[in-house]
Amino acid sequence: MSVDYTTLAQTIAALTEGETDVISLMATVACEVHHSDERFDWTGFYRVVAPEVLKIGPYQGGHGCLVIPFSRGVCGAAARTRDIQLVPDVEAFSDHIACSSSTRSELVLPVVNAQGTLLGVFDIDSDQPDAFTQEDADHIEKILALAFSDAA
CB 59 within 8 A of CB 43: yes
CB 46 within 8 A of CB 29: no
CB 131 within 8 A of CB 106: no
- Predicted confidence at residue 152, as pLDDT, reads 75
Q: How far apart are CA 73 and CA 103, in angstroms?
A: 13
What integer best gives the mean pLDDT of the chain? 93
pLDDT at 1 exceeding the cut of 60:
no
Q: Does the domain formed by 20-147 have CATH 1.20.1560.10? A: no
Amino acid at 72: R
pLDDT at 150 exceeding the cut of 90:
no
Structural domain spans, the chain: 20-147
Q: Taking the complete model, does pTM exceed 0.75, yes or no?
A: yes
